[in-house]
Structure 1
């Protein structure tokens, strides 16, 4: 890989970093179904481009590309989409056309597998993400807990164990002083699908087959004390010069109006009163200490760390690790706004993912982390932002005949949405009566129950203090989903598609 210019002195200030990214011709391509997570990064990185399966902007974004030869039976699943895009001839030509002589294309992907790594190697691309092997090992909740203990960032009081029966579970929990209300987790699984709340024999019986076994066949599990808590999340970037931490967020989880999965994630929110300065400092300390331990494992770049605030004691515990680009990225890459009302301009703070690009650019860094965090905090000080990921709620599988445009909308008092302008991203929405819809699936594409249709961004809180959706949010959801229309797919078509997908291993 060739750098934009030889760097002998390390980059130290935000201005130096911004100049470097603005001048560097290094080509970087983010491959995904849609560009939701990393929108805004292209504002500061000259060589950053999006390659997506669905064109959210209908051809308007100058740094986005969607191939035209997508098969009628499109690839499904994040990993399959990434691998299909890498193998697509139009994508390969686009990458070649936008790669200056002497440069190696850098590839960014959120979810990928060993085949992805092999494809990048064969194509002569540099996949600038932690390896599959490292991510798989660190993705285990058991490993996260063990590394957290070593880092001095303990989880909620727990035991890592195996159990054979209800009586065995109760005996071990009592010996560890975990109480009667337990939270049990398997090593892998997201959106709450492998987290179980067990307070009685009846609770246990419902999940016994998932968490018990005999001898070596018993799964390794984490058994925790139940606490009254507030779940928080922060993205971070591990660099050679330390860890840069993004904003503290509260996640939207378990709302059936948005997600089909019980306990499933459906967005995040940030607002000034979310946590105190003291709690924010505690979260920052946990994330940085834990990331320092992860760096010893060879991890570099982006990840998300969830923390649990014990609302009775004020203690902050390590929660889980997502070793990848996450749903928090939409907030992490906000720059914030300055300037007069109606004429906002981005704050000079950097999108968080810019530090991931720097880490893989091979340039020397000496970061003043305190200054960087202060600049980022100033950029978002006093601001409220919510993201709502909306899934197709109808039970039918449909060919979409109508879909709302990506862009800015005006929100009526009744929650109605009126299209205003086809903006490229949500960075400049200012008012509570504005919203931005980022479409992930459009006309001519297929939507089935549970498919992410896109993300709605607002300048209001999406949840009440005790996690119920606000009345405003409840009105917005049907207003947006009502803008989708579709033609029901026949039973024959559905079975044909399902059979072909099984043959393809999707």
Structure 2
């Protein structure tokens, strides 16, 4: 008899029945966490041996390709494809019986082929649902129309046809242009003047295309940028509550890189009106049902814009894969006592015999959550190195002082709102840092966003600034 999942306890019971080993594959061990709270046998294969790797390894078995060599890196690409194709990884996975199911951030055709050859189950949709289809902003705008979802006033057009005067007349002095297949804010251009428009036309990301690309042009909407996570299951569409995205935060990104630069999330401060929440749930439902008809299953994310004046919620783009909120979101869900959406994602691909009480699970997933994450980058727009390193784990910020408390890597290791965690790729002293390289994440139970301007509040600013300064990042000599 199949279990009907109504809560976290039921979900844990279902995973106790799963016999197939589950393995996460990623660059850093932290990146591929998220299922360890549901199954004790979960393990991770990763590339980098960072300061947090041995801390995680005490609880979750980690096979690391660079174990023992934290500064001298292997000569390979820094992505999951390179990790999976490595001969040592393949040898390690072949020893795991029965053959494991593998969790990736984002599948590629090479990953898909390697999994078929190795007999490993890929806990992800085929890459055909990526940048040439659902993830393509031009195509996704058409999907919104098919679903009967209002779009931000705008159009799709070819770059070769764009004229500043026409766009200025149509959308006003401020409008937005988005490249079809660039994420993380790297393909978003805010146009406030003719100079901004000319900069877009001549930008290297535009010139990289072999033929003039189709783009999305929209009116500029004044308001915050919430997002949510949804999951297509055999029983229906699951979705979380809205979360704030941290975008264009100068303490976390060098803003010369572009606009709409993703820097983290805030769940603790994410309180929206019933009108906005209802729109979010309806949008997730409609898009999820459309994806189900396409054969898609599992997790997808929706980035949105909220018109501050009208409380109208617009969808900007879709990410058909695991998201930048992972593994933080499933960790927070467990701390919050709600079922993990990542668990349902895995079960859909495992084709396990179970049922879901969709209404009851959604009611829990859509309630208020604690927590935030700030993602720090090298703020120097050049190659650099860090002259100091920080211990991974829990720190306390109280009375203007920062004090290290204990090791840790999970929200469950935090005891109160004065504490924060440093984790995820924390660089060893004298690591080589590329321009704008991601350095680490700062996790806390409290909110860090200032709801007046959607930048960091004072606590978030103080913590992010202190952490960055402690690394003593110094430009390399020419």
* TM-score normalized with structure 2 length: 0.87
User: 1:195: which partner in 2?
Assistant: 188
| Match for residue 175 of structure 2 among 182, 187, 190 | 182
Alignment of 1:270-285 (within 5 A): 270-272=267-269, 274-285=271-282
User: 1:447: which partner in 2?
Assistant: 433
Instruction: Kindly state the Cα deviation for residue 129 of structure 1 after the two structures are TM-superposed.
Output: 1.0
| Match for residue 137 of structure 2 among 127, 137, 141 | 141
The count of aligned residue pairs is 462
Give distance in 2, aligned partners of 1:262 and 1:218: 21
Give distance in 1, aligned partners of 2:434 and 2:212: 36
Q: Deviations over 1:282-336 (max 9, x none)?
A: 1111112112112222211112111221111111112111122111224421345
Give distance in 2, aligned partners of 1:423 and 1:75: 30
Give distance in 2, aligned partners of 1:91 and 1:190: 29
Greater RCO between the two (CA within 8 Å, min separation 6)?
A: 2
8 Å contact kept, 1:164–1:212? no
Alignment of 1:487-506 (within 5 A): none
Give distance in 2, aligned partners of 1:231 and 1:487: 33
Q: Deviations over 1:175-224 (max 9, x none)?
A: xx6444321212111222222223443332222346999xx954212121
SS at match of 1:204: helix
Instruction: Kindly state the Cα deviation for residue 19 of structure 1 after the two structures are TM-superposed.
Output: 0.6
- Structure 1 residues 84 and 196, CA gap change in structure 2 (3 angstroms): closer
Alignment of 1:77-476 (within 5 A): 80-97=78-95, 99-100=96-97, 103-136=98-131, 137-162=133-158, 164=160, 167=163, 170-171=165-166, 178-209=171-202, 217-260=211-254, 261-263=257-259, 264-272=261-269, 274-335=271-332, 346-378=335-367, 381=368, 383-394=369-380, 397=383, 402-414=388-400, 416-443=401-428, 445-465=431-451, 466-476=453-463
Instruction: Kindly state the Cα deviation for residue 389 of structure 1 after the two structures are TM-superposed.
Output: 0.6
8 Å contact kept, 1:309–1:317? yes
Instruction: Kindly state the Cα deviation for residue 146 of structure 1 after the two structures are TM-superposed.
Output: 0.5
Give distance in 2, aligned partners of 1:65 and 1:156: 46
8 Å contact kept, 1:246–1:332? no
Please tell me the root mean square deviation across aligned C-alpha atoms, in Å.
2.9
Q: Deviations over 1:123-177 (max 9, x none)?
A: 222222111222122111011110111112222112122254564x544775xx6
- Structure 1 residues 485 and 460, CA gap change in structure 2 (3 angstroms): same
SS at match of 1:193: coil
SS at match of 1:454: strand
Instruction: Kindly state the Cα deviation for residue 488 of structure 1 after the two structures are TM-superposed.
Output: 7.5
Give distance in 1, aligned partners of 2:415 and 2:333: 10
Give distance in 2, aligned partners of 1:367 and 1:244: 10
Instruction: Kindly state the Cα deviation for residue 391 of structure 1 after the two structures are TM-superposed.
Output: 1.4
Q: Deviations over 1:437-473 (max 9, x none)?
A: 1131432643233221210012232221212322222
Instruction: Kindly state the Cα deviation for residue 233 of structure 1 after the two structures are TM-superposed.
Output: 0.7
* TM-score normalized with structure 1 length: 0.82
Q: Which runs of 5+ in 2 are unaligned?
A: none
- Structure 1 residues 486 and 75, CA gap change in structure 2 (3 angstroms): farther
Give distance in 2, aligned partners of 1:127 and 1:75: 26
Instruction: Kindly state the Cα deviation for residue 47 of structure 1 after the two structures are TM-superposed.
Output: 3.7
- Structure 1 residues 367 and 309, CA gap change in structure 2 (3 angstroms): same
SS at match of 2:356: coil
SS at match of 1:366: strand
Instruction: Kindly state the Cα deviation for residue 360 of structure 1 after the two structures are TM-superposed.
Output: 0.7
User: 2:53: which partner in 1?
Assistant: 57
Give distance in 2, aligned partners of 1:278 and 1:76: 49
User: 1:342: which partner in 2?
Assistant: none
SS at match of 1:51: strand
Give distance in 2, aligned partners of 1:406 and 1:291: 38
SS at match of 1:411: strand
Give distance in 1, aligned partners of 2:197 and 2:325: 33
Q: Deviations over 1:349-393 (max 9, x none)?
A: 222100111101112443222200222345xx3x44210111123
